[in-house]
Amino acid sequence: MDDVRSVDVLVVGLGPAGASAAHIAARAGLSVLGVERNRLLGEPVQCAEFIPMPMGAYARTGGVLMQRISGMKSVLPSGRVHESGFPGLMIDRAEFDRTIAREADRHGAELWTRARLTTLDAENRVATVRRAGEMRCIRYEVLVAADGPLSPVAAALGMEPLDVVQTRQYTVPLLRPCGDTDIWLSDDYPGGYAWLFPKGSVANLGVGADRRWEDNLKQPLARLHRQLADAGRVGEAVLYRTGGAIPVGGLRGRLVVNRTVFAGDAAGLTHPITGAGIAAAVISGERAGQAAAAYLSGDADAFGDYEEDVRDQFETAVNRAVRRRRELAGYWRTAAANEDGVQRKGWIAFDDYFESAAV
């Protein structure tokens, strides 16, 4: 093992949460090391690439913004289509992540790729990272766990794994350009939904489902692809294949443990119904970077404040979604799951979702 490195902040995972934490901590003057197991920042892309309008400032750099979205079409099991306003942006997600990482780098954060956290001794604040075949020992004052839905940091701390749903997505040619996202709600996607998000001349076509009811996502995705190709909306080619886990169980019981601050998917901030988590990752990542800086400048309440702020901002919406999932769980793989009324209660585009979900 090589010599021991000492840093103020070690960030594990350089998706939007980790890159944002590294950026803000470095900007505050801390020594920051970010480690990412992938070879390239931002890749492989595991995302449908939609961000809500308030995140627009993060899409200004060249190459990030791909197209504007104005509305959402939610297709119910009967085939009825509900149209709603849903403004946002389609982005190049790899470029989005890299833009944030470049800001971190510009402020002096050191970012390692092909660097995987392998062990963690949180009591003594020492982590081991395998970088390009070599083991490196890192001493830190604060650790930001931004290592995604399956969070190896949480596992190393003996914390419960988060509940997740699985997804599968193809990027396909888009034959008729459009400015809306399409959502399909039915028992074909139990515990999830299907989507078509337009991105200029291509689109991200995906499905998500809960393994308890469906563990083969290939078939429903291929079926939907076939239908849309037959209808002349998309081409038959599959230009890119991806997928991944989305946390759906709500926020972790504790967001800060042993000077380890959880952010983004690792904290369980992703919306359990829509699966949207980019905005929450950036916001919590930046907030984690601030908390690290405040703590290391002597603010003993910094981590408590982080926990409180993040819960204030996300918990109401996330808890409502967790509850809706729980209610829908009783319907999947029964005839009732294909009733429009049941699906309306489980999807954010309908008033029923907000009216009937006690929080």
Q: Give the per-residue contact string, 126-155, with ligand FAD (x = CB under 6 A; - = no).
A: --------------------xxx---x---
Residue 48 in contact with ligand FAD, rule: CB under 6 A: yes
Given 270, 292, 295, 353, the residue binding ligand FAD (CB under 6 A): 270
| Exposure of 45 in the CB half-sphere (CA atoms within 13 A) | 20
Contacts of 357 (CB under 8 A, 6+ apart): 320, 323, 324, 327, 345
**What are the angstrom distances between the C-alpha of 59 and each of 69, 93, 99, 258?**
13, 10, 9, 34
Instruction: Quote the tokens at residue 191.
Output: 């515990």
CA distance linking residue 111 with residue 14, whole number of Å: 8
Query: Any bridge partners for residue 115, and if so which?
Result: 131
**Minimum CB separation from ligand FAD for residue 120, in Å?**
9
Q: Kindly tell me which of 117 and 318 has the beta carbon lying closer to ligand FAD.
A: 117
Strand partners for 197: 204
What is the rounded distance in angstroms from the CA atom of residue 264 to the CA atom of residue 283? 8
Selected from 7, 18, 76, 337, the binder of ligand FAD by CB under 6 A is: 18
Could you identify the residue written with the tokens 């405040």?
294
Q: Is 99 in the site for ligand FAD (CB under 6 A)?
A: no
CA separation for the pair 64, 278 (Å, rounded):
14
- CA distances for 189 relative to 29, 185, 218, 338, angstroms: 47, 7, 11, 11
Report the candidate in 169, 179, 147, 158 with the shortest Cα–Cα distance to residue 69.
179
* Closer by beta carbon to ligand FAD, 75 or else 269: 269
Q: Out of 210, 265, 286, 307, which residue is the one contacting ligand FAD (CB under 6 A)?
A: 265
Does 264 help bind ligand FAD (rule: CB under 6 A)? yes
Answer yes or no whether residue 198 interacts with ligand FAD by CB under 6 A.
Answer: no
Interface with ligand FAD, residue 275, by CB under 6 A: yes
State the minimum distance, in angstroms, from the CB of residue 349 to ligand FAD.
15
Q: In this chain, which of 272, 277, 289, 346 binds ligand FAD, going by CB under 6 A?
A: 277
Q: Quick one: which of 276, 322, 328, 337 contacts ligand FAD (CB under 6 A)?
A: 276
CB 245 within 8 A of CB 162: no
Based on the shown chain and the rule CB under 6 A, indicate whether residue 30 belongs to the binding site for ligand FAD: no
Residue 296, SS3 per DSSP: helix
Q: Is 187 in the site for ligand FAD (CB under 6 A)?
A: no
Considering the complex, state which of residue 119 and residue 334 has its C-beta at the smaller distance from ligand FAD. 119
Q: Count residues contacting ligand FAD (CB under 6 A)?
A: 38
Q: What single letter denotes the amino acid at residue 157?
A: L
According to the 3-state scheme, what is the secondary structure of 153-189? Answer: HHHHCCCCCCCEEEEEEEEEEECCCCCEEEEECCCCC
Q: Which lies closer to ligand FAD via its Cβ, residue 95 or residue 352?
A: 95
Instruction: Give the residue with the Cβ less far from ligand FAD, 45 or 342.
Output: 45
d(CA 202, CA 169) in angstroms, rounded, equals 13
Of these, 120, 281, 288, 348, which contacts ligand FAD (CB under 6 A)? Answer: 281
What distance in Å separates the CA atoms of residue 156 and residue 142, rounded to the nearest whole number?
A: 16
Q: Kindly tell me which of 325 and 331 has the beta carbon lying closer to ligand FAD.
A: 325
What minimum distance in Å lies between the beta carbon of 266 and ligand FAD? 6
Residue among 6, 31, 46, 67 that touches ligand FAD (CB under 6 A): 46
Q: Which residues, in sequence order, are bridge partners of residue 73?
A: 83, 182
Residue 286 lies near ligand FAD (rule: CB under 6 A):
no
The residues of the shown chain that bind ligand FAD, judged by CB under 6 A, are 12-18, 35-38, 46-51, 116-117, 146-148, 152, 167, 169, 206, 243-244, 246, 264-266, 270, 275-278, 281
